[in-house]
Amino acid sequence: MPGPGPAGGGMSSSALESMLARLYTDEAFLKAFLEDPGAALHRAGLDETDRASLLAIDRDDLLLAAESYSAKRLSRRPGGAG
């Protein structure tokens, strides 16, 4: 069953949402994160809980999601839904 991550804090969703949006859309930042997550997040201004939860993310799943979203944006299918 999909469940909470090991470092789930959850009180600063807004910062996490922003960081996820950047990872999904900024190819260079995603590449840097996949190569060295700690260094990529170093200057992101996240609190320790958010940082830990992002460091625990499954990197292969993140890459697949980013690729999938990118393909969707490029296809420009209006209103494609999830």
Partner 1 sequence: MRQRLRRWRRLRRVRGLAVGDRFGLLWRPALAAGILANLDRIDVVELIAEDHFRASRAGLRALRTLAAQVPLLLHGVSLGAASTVPVEIRRLDNLARLAEAIGVAGWSEHLAFVRGGGVEIGHLAAPPRSQASIEGACRNLERATRIVGTAPAVENIATLVEPPGSTLDEPDWITAIVRGAGAGLLLDLHNLYANAVNFGADPFAMLRRLPLDRVASVHLGGGRWVDRPNGRRRLIDDHLHDVPPEAFDLLGELGRLTPRGLTVVIERDDHFPPFPRLLQQLDEARECLAQARRAAA
CB of 52 to partner 1, least distance (A): 9
Neighbours of 30 (CB within 10 A): 21
Can residue 2 be called a binding residue for partner 1 (CB under 8 A)? yes
Secondary structure percentages of the chain, helix, strand, coil, to 5: 65, 0, 35
CB of 26 to partner 1, least distance (A): 8
Neighbours of 41 (CB within 10 A): 18
Can residue 78 be called a binding residue for partner 1 (CB under 8 A)? yes
As a whole number of angstroms, the distance between CA 18 and CA 26 comes to: 12
Residues near partner 1 (CB under 8 A): 1-5, 7-14, 16-22, 24-26, 49-50, 53-54, 56-58, 60-62, 64-65, 68-69, 72-73, 75, 77-82
